[in-house]
Amino acid sequence: MFEKILIANRGEIAVRIIRTCKRLGIATTAVYSDADSRSLHRQLADHAEYIGEAPARQSYLDGEKIIAAALASGCRAVHPGYGFLSESARFARALEAAGLAFIGPPAAAIALMGDKIASKELAAKAGVPVIPGHAEALKDLEEALAAAESIGYPVLLKPAAGGGGKGMRIVNRKDQMADALAASRQETEKAFGDSRIFMEKYIEQPRHIEIQIFADGHGEVVSLGERECSIQRRYQKIIEESPSPAVSEELRQRMGKAACDLARKAGYINAGTVEFVVDAGGGFYFLEMNTRLQVEHPVTELVTGLDLVELQLRIAAGEPLPFDQAGVKFRGWAMEARICAEDSERGFMPATGMITRYAEPRGKAIRVDSGVQTGSKIGVYYDSMLAKAISYGKDRETARIGLVEALNGYHIEGVVTNIDFVNSVLSHPKFADGDFSTDFIERYFETDRPSLPVDERNLKLSALAAALIYHVRKMAVRESVRPMVSRIGAGKNRRDSQRYFVRTENEEFEVLLEGSSTGRLWKIHVDKDKFAVETPEFEFYRRRLKLNIDGRIHRFRLRIEGSFFWIAFCGIIRYFEIYSPKEWDLLKHMPRRLELPPADELHCPMPGLVVDVPLKKGDRVFRGQNLVVLESMKMESGVASPVDAVIEDVLVTVGQAVETGDVLVRFKS
């Protein structure tokens, strides 16, 4: 086994690798850029080496600097994590030339499986089902149109190099091909330095299922089961689980065998993931192979009881796998949510800022892999993922409910995150039933068509929590007790009752609180529903409330902003106003607030770099039309017009750096 390794990555995966190394007694060297000088992974490693400025190409993508850091710190091997150089055959060869072990597959396997065209050809030779398509790189628009006619619309344009959804475009009709092909080539050239595009049949409403495999240098190849990865936005996964609710034991064995056959054909060693799409009839087709550890590996670890990073280390050190296929056992269900710095209400735009408050969920069945803490600065240079929350249970519903409750108590302030959006997906009835495909978010969360209504019971519980906090604060002030003691309901014993009216958006609730002699037990009526409530804990600093409602623990995240109570619970985010009966009667006679006219300026929603301004002064634009394209956290995002208008002035140019709040465009009044 290695005595010391360098981790050529950052954030949560670097922290994750360090954790296993500490358990095994392996010393670690971290690398860091200017942006990560105070990062958690640097603090936790035994040693750290500075490798350059914040932009990835000047630090984490500079293989020469990383190799120099490994040699200078006395390391024998390098773990690439995922992203950055993890799938670079050139980097793997350079490590070998420097006398360092690469904790991953051979360079030849990386090159072969990293080429989407070559890997598809190899899969076909290995007897693995492949999606019908045009396997050669498209030469021009004429060839693309001919290929699409042969395959049949809709088709999918995909880059020959890279992954993560970059450069992918769905083409439904002939007249969409020219624009889609040009955009696909431009994006993949920028992301991977390779403009080759190929085409395959687009399978509508598929499942995205992947198989985790491991291969050692002694001829053993095993499958560690499947992961369900169909919940995606922008082709990026945000919820994963193992096993999949759509995979039978028979299908699991067939897919596992196909993945292992492909690995053997490729001469593969170490951890790898073979990705498939599965159609409505249960047919599966090879998509690609990721030649690295996957972001979602924790769900496999929880259902198999294996440490995949430890297996990587041992195989890279020349050891055989300690089990064969018959030795792989599966237990229970695991579900993971990716916590990202992004604004789900603005088309998943990346968000930046400094984390001012941070509290992770806890519990025996909860695991959090995080790369941040209070004080961490989230900038524009790297991926938006901050952490992963993983729940384990005896069955799918237990794991799902556990993850919902974990996210209810995951408290991050200072930067916008997707916590509540992910929780709304987890709480959606269709997801709970296991009835979904890769277009789930687009179908239920990104269209003008209304989704299923908000869960009325969960909304009432949020209103209950707001009214209870309001009441306790009011009683504490009246009794000259500190407004926020550690146990809400502490203070003088009371048996009184109090009626409140709670309003949020278009909903109104009547809440009746009946206290007990202990000050912690309540009978609470919300309209016609009655709840037995115990108030075991309120953490003011972390702004989390834990209530035992009808014998089940529920957690709420909350903020008090003036007269408003902000509550986040099970994906529902609302501002609540609380009124006494007298105030409610008076409110009925108050005029309704008028909507303000739209602004005559388009403001920048996030820091970034302007990469496209497809308009000029005098152009007529329409609401929802992208006026400026920004690049931030390795993603391009369009900034849409809020109104139908005529452009008065364009205030930015391509290549310009912009900050949140900057004026990008002015409209004519």
pLDDT of 450: 46
Q: Is 298 helix (H, G, I), strand (E, B) or coil?
A: helix
Q: Known catalytic residue: 288? A: yes
Q: What is the mean pLDDT of residues 533-552?
A: 80
Residue 206, preceding peptide bond in cis (omega within 30° of 0): no
Q: What is the mean pLDDT of residues 286-299?
A: 96
pLDDT of 644: 83
Asked if pLDDT for residue 140 goes beyond 50, the answer is yes
pLDDT of 485: 44
Separation of CA 467 from chain center:
33
Tens of pLDDT, residues 378-390: 998 999 999 999 9
* Nearest alpha-carbon partner for 465 in 528, 538, 373: 538
CA 437/CA 569 separation, integer angstroms: 25
Asked if pLDDT for residue 5 goes beyond 50, the answer is yes
Q: What is the mean pLDDT of residues 614-622?
A: 87
201 versus 81: the higher-pLDDT residue is 81
- Local confidence band at 331 (pLDDT 50, 70, 90 cut-offs): very high
631 versus 164: the higher-pLDDT residue is 631
φ/ψ of residue 264, rounded to 5:
-65, -40
Structure tokens at 505: 């958006």
Q: What is the mean pLDDT of residues 525-532?
A: 95
pLDDT above 90 coverage of the chain, percent = 68
Tokens 């597959």 correspond to 105
Tokens 């930015």 correspond to 652
pLDDT above 70 coverage of the chain, percent = 91
Q: What is the mean pLDDT of residues 394-399?
A: 98
Buried-state track 454-477, b at ≥16 Cβ within 10 A, e below 16: bbeebbbbbbbbbbbbbbbbebbe
Q: Cβ(302)–Cβ(367) under 8 Å?
A: yes
Tokens 């890769």 correspond to 438
- Residue 135 class from Cβ within 10 Å (0-12 exposed, 13-18 middle, 19+ buried)? middle
CA neighbours closer than 13 Å in the CB half-sphere of residue 364: 2
Tens of pLDDT, residues 39-81: 999 999 999 999 999 999 999 999 999 999 999 999 999 999 9
Q: What is the mean pLDDT of residues 290-296?
A: 97
Q: What is the mean pLDDT of residues 125-138?
A: 89
CA 627/CA 46 separation, integer angstroms: 48
Asked if pLDDT for residue 337 goes beyond 90, the answer is yes
Tokens 């993949």 correspond to 188
- Local confidence band at 315 (pLDDT 50, 70, 90 cut-offs): very high
DSSP state of 353: E
CA 10/CA 84 separation, integer angstroms: 10
Number of CB atoms found within 10 A of residue 68's CB? 14
CA 611/CA 601 separation, integer angstroms: 20
pTM exceeds cut of 0.75? yes
Q: What is the mean pLDDT of residues 192-202?
A: 86
Q: Is 585 helix (H, G, I), strand (E, B) or coil?
A: helix
φ/ψ of residue 322, rounded to 5:
-80, 10
pLDDT of 491: 46
Tokens 């005559």 correspond to 600
CA 243/CA 157 separation, integer angstroms: 30
pLDDT of 518: 61
Sign of CA dihedral 78, 81, 83, 89: positive
Asked if pLDDT for residue 651 goes beyond 60, the answer is yes
pLDDT of 116: 82
CA 66/CA 88 separation, integer angstroms: 13
- Local confidence band at 659 (pLDDT 50, 70, 90 cut-offs): confident
Asked if pLDDT for residue 247 goes beyond 80, the answer is yes
Tens of pLDDT, residues 556-586: 998 887 778 999 999 999 999 999 998 888 8
- Local confidence band at 635 (pLDDT 50, 70, 90 cut-offs): low
Q: Give Cβ neighbours of residue 492 (< 8 Å, ≥ 6 apart).
A: 479, 519
Q: Cβ(465)–Cβ(567) under 8 Å?
A: yes
Asked if pLDDT for residue 196 goes beyond 70, the answer is yes
Tokens 């070998």 correspond to 96
Q: Cβ(6)–Cβ(73) under 8 Å?
A: yes
Tens of pLDDT, residues 468-521: 988 887 876 666 544 444 444 444 444 568 999 999 988 999 999 998 766 678
200 versus 216: the higher-pLDDT residue is 216
Q: What is the mean pLDDT of residues 328-351?
A: 92
pLDDT of 489: 47
Q: Give Cβ neighbours of residue 378 (< 8 Å, ≥ 6 apart).
A: 341, 351, 352, 353, 354, 355, 372, 384, 386, 415
How far, CA to CA in Å, does 427 sit from each of 400, 405, 458, 569? Answer: 8, 10, 10, 10
Q: What is the mean pLDDT of residues 439-449?
A: 78
- Local confidence band at 449 (pLDDT 50, 70, 90 cut-offs): very low
CA 524/CA 360 separation, integer angstroms: 29
Task: Kindly report the length of the chain.
Answer: 669
pLDDT of 591: 59
Catalytic-role residue among 288, 336, 342, 360: 288
Sign of CA dihedral 507, 508, 512, 518: positive
Q: Hey, which bits of 185-302 come out as E strands?
A: 197-201, 207-215, 221-233, 236-242, 270-278, 284-290
Torsion on CA atoms 413, 414, 420, 423, rounded to nearest 10: -60
CA neighbours closer than 13 Å in the CB half-sphere of residue 1: 13
Mean pLDDT of the chain: 90
Q: What is the mean pLDDT of residues 207-226?
A: 97
Angle subtended by helix axes 249-265 and 116-125, to nearest 10 = 110
Q: Cβ(411)–Cβ(544) under 8 Å?
A: yes
Q: What is the mean pLDDT of residues 338-351?
A: 88
